[in-house]
Structure 1
């Protein structure tokens, strides 16, 4: 890839960086292949604050010269959508994997609807994104029904990709490496 190739910026969800997560593994593989990558760093405080998460994404973007492709997972997709509503930096494209439907109460063990409301996550942005994007959706994601994710993708102007039954596409669902990520990322490059 040339020096004008996009930097791939990982946007993790609320659980931040997990060593065996597909985003972490993908970043290591891309780096080994000589592709420029970066990741939004974990928050030290205000971990549930949407504004703090959007600010962290914006700060990470500010350190990157040239084009950027975002690779977001779960609440990282919502961080990306909130960021796009507030900022105007040109983004080359975004791979938005298994977005969490924060407008619908999440299962036990996740933030409550009231906590999400208080911390600025709701309502989830639904305006068209100002950059090309692919939404990768699961048919059995415990954090978002497929039809809800399909509606989000349509509202955002994103291409929807049906991943089948992959749960939340995380280690708990049996995913470390996600083989399709590179092919979908290639579609955005």
Structure 2
């Protein structure tokens, strides 16, 4: 991976990631940072979001690491089920932060069309990071999603939804999870070589 020019692709969740969200800070600080821009952040449609993720990845032939938050994590899981092999091969790994459980009873109505959440193994290394007090996903459900997707998992204590509301603006400690994922990607590449 060190000799490749990796594109870090930010995949925001419902309502997007504002200027003071850690995803925006990361996009501006990581080399080759880019963002999936959805047409409608308020009333997301699964087909539209998955399609835009596909178009954004395919628009550039460089390898990609996905950095998703909340509904963006579920979008990645849906995309991975449907994506053409050529595009799947571009994705080296995914950091999936605070995945939203769109199957929970109190899920906001605009997100329900993303259910059911795919339970297939992701075809690339992945890292789920969640919190033990996230209103969008229980700890048990985050662990289930990580298991289903074949992801390593980290559960933070008292970090809420890992967004601006929970005080995560720059979220510099999150880079440790990205570096851990990148090490797994490199190990995976060496084994595959």
TM-score, with length taken from structure 2: 0.86
**Aligned residue runs from structure 1 range 116-155, under 5 A:** 116-117=111-112, 119=113, 121-155=114-148
Give the deviation of 1:43 after TM superposition.
Answer: 1.3
Is the counterpart of residue 183 in structure 1 residue 176 in structure 2? yes
Q: Which residue matches 2:46?
A: 50
Give the deviation of 1:2 after TM superposition.
Answer: 6.0
Give structure 2 stretches of 5+ with no counterpart.
183-193
Query: Separation in 1 of the partners of 2:54 and 2:75?
Result: 10
Asked if the contact 1:9/1:68 (under 8 Å) is kept, the reply is yes
Give the deviation of 1:66 after TM superposition.
Answer: 2.1
Partner of 2:165, secondary structure, is helix
Asked if the contact 1:137/1:162 (under 8 Å) is kept, the reply is yes
Give the deviation of 1:78 after TM superposition.
Answer: 0.2
Shift of the 94–160 alpha-carbon distance from structure 1 to 2, 3 Å rule, reads same
TM-score, with length taken from structure 1: 0.87
Shift of the 167–83 alpha-carbon distance from structure 1 to 2, 3 Å rule, reads same
After superposition, the C-alpha distances for 1:49-83 in whole angstroms (9 at most, x for unaligned) are 00000011011101222211000000000000000
Q: Which structure: greater helix fraction?
A: 2
Give structure 1 stretches of 5+ with no counterpart.
none
User: Which residue of 43, 67, 77 corresponds with 1:71?
Assistant: 67
Give the deviation of 1:188 after TM superposition.
Answer: 2.4
Partner of 1:149, secondary structure, is helix
Give the deviation of 1:116 after TM superposition.
Answer: 3.9
